[in-house]
Structure 1
Amino acid sequence: MPRKKALLIGINYTGSKHQLNGCINDAMNVREYLVRERGFSPDPREMVILTDKPQNRGSPFFPTGANMLAAFRWLVTGNNPGDSLWLSYSGHGSQVRDPDGDRDSGFDDTICPIDFEQHGQITSDTLHKVIVSPMNPRCRLTILFDCCHSGSAVELPYVFKPDADGRVNMMGNVKEGLSLAREAKGLLHGGFSIEKVHDVQTLIEHGTSLLHKFQHPDAPSDENGLADENFVEDWRSEGKDVWMFSGCADDQTSADTSMQGLATGAMSWAFINTMRANPRQSYVQVLQNTRALLQSKYAQIPQLSIGGKYDLDQPVYL
């Protein structure tokens, strides 16, 4: 029988100035969904969960950068053809300056381990090299990232652009422009302070990125809605069977919210509820229905990126 392996990460950054509320709940909700409805085993040899619960401190299950990298390697090595792998991350996502010059925005996506202030963030380039490159090409990996700036967080070579005419992307740009305008207005109130310098710098950088998108539309997609992503590395030649649902585009933030009184990430909630409504949906349908659940309340636009040019109408396989 094909093996099912899962790695679930949820980081609340409890007690820090970066604290979130719903990320550990996200990991637990995903665990319940995978075990009860998708046939995954909770056995720690098959499912590893990293959270910053106090009892995990000092153990391999505390989500430091070193522990996360070790867990990524566990997930994608030693597998046989036909195995189904799952990776979910709920926590902070950020961006750093792009050293390669291959990103139009000038930034690479990152994720933030619990100790990122001491030991740094994990970049999209590193995530690809640790997670995707070592994979057995005959295994399937499904990724769910519920964090800010997550569209290219694993640098998969193809992204699904369901609206090749740009209407959804343009609407996202308009919403982002209005959001930036509100932020700028807020910075003008209450006078100037040194604490606002970083906010102003970030605002200018995001405004520059947005202007670039208006002036330089996304690359056209093929007849299946797939568009090439541009990376220095030739990730297309790897041909890895990886499917990633991310909570927002590279230049967007992802909401930490509450559903039925329980703190949760908006994307994690929407994905699980979409899959529960119909477990036999295709990848395209899951993306579209997840977007529909989020669009009434949130500006974030979930993304689907893929390791190869595969049939997007096949049912989601977990």
Structure 2
Amino acid sequence: MSQYNAQGYQNSYGPRTTHRKSLLIGINYEGQQSALRGCRQDVRNMSQFLISRGYPTDERSMVILTDDRQGPFYASGHNILAAMDWLVSEPNTQCFLHYSGHGGQVKDPDGDRESGYDDTIVPVDYQTKGQLDSDTLHRHLVSKLHPTSSLFVVFDCCHSGSAIELPFVYRTDSDGNVTLVDSVKEGISLLAHAQGLLQGGFSASKINDAKALFAGAQSFFSGLKHRGEHQEEGLGEEHFQEDWAHEGRSVFMFSGCRDDQTSADANIAGSHVGAMSWALLETLYSRPGQSYVEVLQNTRQLLLGKYKQIPQLSVGSQVDLNQPLKF
């Protein structure tokens, strides 16, 4: 039996929904030193895809925020949070969120991150109003999600691996194998190997090998509080139990890269786009009915060899990821 179809996992379809809503955010930061070129195009491309999938476009159902619109559709921090609250507020709704723009990191005010930083997304007015950190994003998107609704998220930005702090994180290797990021199991495995080396007598080589394994295990366990540059993503177990363990929301998130990586702005077929947004849309258009695992694998394969970023899938509860992707 596949590890993604184990007994006791929830059905990945989540609650039955009767309405669809979408929020698309694209920020090019025109006139700023950190300007991007493909984010608004990503939003246009994603909206066309959603329309092809039957998503309604009336103002009650689809909201687009960019940095070239005015009023409530300007991609300021205030408007982004208000739009997120709007997105997840109703019962029996399939919610879709796409963000293309800068991602960043800010100092963790709570002191519960091993790296000392929270991941962020970057509104157009970040220089005066600040960035939106992962705690804030989780509370507005996941904690506020109506229990009878589902949320599908695409973040095409740097440092996006755990940007909304979901407890289960999956990634692929270059051969397409999908694994659940689990620092606890890896740390225990390293300790077991180290202890095994020391059984039956000591030698200089055994001691040195065991020291290296013990050091590796210590690194994994310290990473449970959060991630440093080479540590695994996801909330530390203690922090997750304290803040989010009771939620179990139906949330799926495809992110452009790991927390310690950047996400590329690309020029493909003469059009400026985000590499992750492009690869995901190419994958979704290519063959309907793919599973969550297949979409993650195929998106990675399109990026492999051209871009260093490794896309990830994060989930709000353990589910069968071999079922067809639904949003």
Stretches of structure 2 that go unaligned for 5 or more consecutive residues are 1-16, 172-177, 183-214, 225-232
Q: Is the 1:156–1:305 contact (alpha carbons within 8 Å) kept by the matching residues of 2?
A: yes
Query: Aligned partners of 1:99, 1:117: CA distance in 2, in Å?
Result: 18
Query: Aligned partners of 1:94, 1:228: CA distance in 2, in Å?
Result: 16
Which moves more between the two structures, 43-52 or 99-108? 99-108
1:310 Cα deviation from its structure 2 partner: 1.2
1:314 Cα deviation from its structure 2 partner: 1.3
2:18 maps to 1:2: yes
2:258 maps to 1:252: no
- For the residue of structure 2 that corresponds to 1:34, the secondary structure is helix
Paired residue for 2:66?
51
Structural mapping, 1:266-305, within 5 Å = 266-305=275-314
1:243-298 residue CA offsets vs partner (Å, 9 max, x unmatched): 00000000100000111000000000000110111121111111111111101101
2:155 maps to 1:140: no
Paired residue for 2:168?
158
- For the residue of structure 2 that corresponds to 1:311, the secondary structure is coil
TM-score (norm 2): 0.75
1:97-146 residue CA offsets vs partner (Å, 9 max, x unmatched): 12333333221100000000001000000000111101112211100000
Paired residue for 1:12?
28
**Which of 8, 20, 45 does residue 29 from structure 1 map onto?**
45
**Identity, % of aligned pairs?**
52
- For the residue of structure 2 that corresponds to 1:144, the secondary structure is strand
Q: Is the 1:112–1:121 contact (alpha carbons within 8 Å) kept by the matching residues of 2?
A: yes
1:214 Cα deviation from its structure 2 partner: 9.8
Q: Is the 1:133–1:238 contact (alpha carbons within 8 Å) kept by the matching residues of 2?
A: yes
**Which of 40, 43, 57 does residue 55 from structure 2 map onto?**
40
Query: How many equivalent pairs are there?
Result: 261
Stretches of structure 1 that go unaligned for 5 or more consecutive residues are 167-211, 220-226
Query: Aligned partners of 1:71, 1:165: CA distance in 2, in Å?
Result: 31
Paired residue for 1:80?
91
- For the residue of structure 2 that corresponds to 1:236, the secondary structure is coil
Q: Which has the larger radius of gyration?
A: 2
Query: Aligned partners of 1:88, 1:273: CA distance in 2, in Å?
Result: 15
Query: Aligned partners of 2:124, 2:61: CA distance in 1, in Å?
Result: 23
Cα-Cα RMSD: 2.2
**Which of 219, 230, 248 does residue 216 from structure 1 map onto?**
219
1:111 and 1:213, CA in 2 relative to 1: closer, same or farther beyond 3 A? farther
Q: Is the 1:88–1:145 contact (alpha carbons within 8 Å) kept by the matching residues of 2?
A: yes
Query: Aligned partners of 2:314, 2:262: CA distance in 1, in Å?
Result: 17
Which moves more between the two structures, 100-109 or 299-308? 100-109
The aligned amino acid for 2:67 is: D
TM-score (norm 1): 0.77
1:214 and 1:138, CA in 2 relative to 1: closer, same or farther beyond 3 A? same
Q: Is the 2:254–2:313 contact (alpha carbons within 8 Å) kept by the matching residues of 1?
A: yes
Query: Aligned partners of 1:119, 1:278: CA distance in 2, in Å?
Result: 42
**Which of 45, 48, 68 does residue 80 from structure 2 map onto?**
68
- For the residue of structure 1 that corresponds to 2:160, the secondary structure is coil
1:312 Cα deviation from its structure 2 partner: 1.1
